[in-house]
């Protein structure tokens, strides 16, 4: 334990691998079910073959473990040679508000810089206040609001 009630996490953030693909898919889907109350699998074709989808050039997918428990996911996909997209950021419900999303986001930004992306874009539902706070507090600025989702961007300074 850290100061007061703050818990210190020995978080391991690793590239997605076949042995944990189902766990990553289930963590993401559990988050959707929690937020929406249902899952529309037709909206998530990338989750059927995550290794194939996120194994493409310019794409990365990470999973985070606290001890041996998967607690978060996140990906960067290639929009074009200069722009990456943050996707599939999800933190297991019981591990939220502990800095894990912050650490995953930093890992994704580092991966984007390694891929020579100059900018990152992302979208999140405009009712997901915790996600909006995470992104704005990390330098993402609002590009547009389509009524359901906020679209953000961040210049990486490369």
Q: What is the CATH number of the domain that holds 23?
A: 3.40.630.30
Q: Does the pLDDT value for residue 38 go beyond 90? A: no
Per-residue model confidence as pLDDT tens digits over 64-90 = 999 889 999 999 999 999 999 999 999
Q: Residue 61 has which token pair?
A: 């997918």
Q: Does the pLDDT value for residue 3 go beyond 70? A: no
Let me know: does 78 contact 94? Beta carbons within 8 Å.
Answer: no
Least Cα distance to 60 among 109, 122, 118, 8 occurs for 109
Is 65 part of a structural domain of the chain? yes
For residue 128, the model assigns a pLDDT of 84
The H or E element spanning position 25 is helix 21-36
Is 153 part of a structural domain of the chain? no
CA dihedral 137, 118, 27, 99 (to 10 degrees): -30
Split at pLDDT 50, 70, 90, the class of 4 is very low
Is 100 part of a structural domain of the chain? yes
Is 155 part of a structural domain of the chain? no
Per-residue model confidence as pLDDT tens digits over 115-139 = 999 999 999 988 888 899 999 999 9
Specify the residue for token string 């979208």: 123
Please spell the DSSP secondary structure of 90-147, one letter per residue: EE-GGGTTSSHHHHHHHHHHHHHHHTT-SEEEEEEETT-HHHHHHHHHTT-EEEEE-S
Least Cα distance to 16 among 66, 64, 71 occurs for 64
The pTM is what? 0.89
For residue 42, the model assigns a pLDDT of 75
For residues 59 and 36, give the distance between their C-alpha atoms in angstroms, rounded to a whole number. Answer: 27
Q: How many domains does the chain have?
A: 1
**Domain limits for position 88:** 11-117
């Amino acid at each position: 334990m850290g100061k007061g009630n703050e818990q210190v996490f020995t978080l391991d953030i690793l590239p997605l691998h076949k042995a944990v693909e189902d766990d990553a898919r289930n963590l993401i889907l559990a988050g959707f079910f929690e937020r929406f109350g249902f899952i529309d699998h037709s909206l998530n074709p990338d989750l059927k073959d995550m290794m194939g989808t996120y194994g493409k050039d310019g794409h990365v997918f990470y999973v985070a473990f606290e001890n041996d428990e998967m607690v978060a996911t996140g990906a960067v996909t290639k929009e074009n040679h200069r722009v990456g997209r943050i996707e599939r950021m999800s933190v297991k419900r019981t591990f939220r508000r502990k800095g894990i999303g912050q650490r995953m986001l930093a890992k994704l930004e580092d991966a984007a810089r390694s891929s020579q992306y100059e900018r990152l874009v992302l979208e999140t539902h405009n009712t997901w206040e915790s996600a909006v706070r995470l992104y704005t507090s990390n330098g993402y600025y609002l590009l547009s609001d389509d009524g359901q989702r906020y679209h953000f961007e961040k210049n990486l300074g490369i």
